[in-house]
Structure 1
Amino acid sequence: MKLLMLGGTEFVGRAITEDALARGWEVTVFHRGRHAPAPGTRALHGDRTAPGGLAALSEGRWDLVVDTWGGAPTAVRDSARLLGGRAGRYVYISSRSVYAYPAPAGQTEDGLLVDGSADAASTAYAEDKRGGELAALDAFADRALLVRAGLILGPYENVGRLPWWLNRIARGGPVLAPGPRDLPIQYIDVRDLARWTLDAAGAGLGGPYNLVAPVGHATMGTLLDACAAVTGGAADLRWTDPAAILAAGVEPWTELPVWLPGDESYDHMFGGDVTRALETGLRCRPVAETVADTWAWLCSLGGRAPQRPDRPAPGLDAEREAALLGL
Structure 2
Amino acid sequence: MAPRHEIAHLAHVQLLTPKLEESVRFCTDFLGLRVVGSEGDRVYLHAWDDYQHHTLTLRAHRHAGIARTHLRAASPEALRGRVDAIETTGYGIGWADGEPGFGPTYLFTDPDGHEFGLYYEAEWFQCTEETRPALKNQAAAYPSGGVPARRLDHVNFLGRTPGDNRDFLVDVLGALTTEQIMLDDGSVAAAWTTFTNKSYDLVYTRDNLGLSGRLHHIAFAADSRADILRACDVALDQGVFIETGPHKHAIQQTFFLYVYEPGGNRIELCNPGARLILAPDWHRVDWTEAERAKGQAWGLKTIESFHTHGTPTADDLTRET
TM-score after normalising by structure 2: 0.30
Which structure has the bigger radius of gyration?
A: 1
Structure with the higher helix share, 1 or 2: 1
Structure with the higher strand share, 1 or 2: 2
TM-score after normalising by structure 1: 0.30
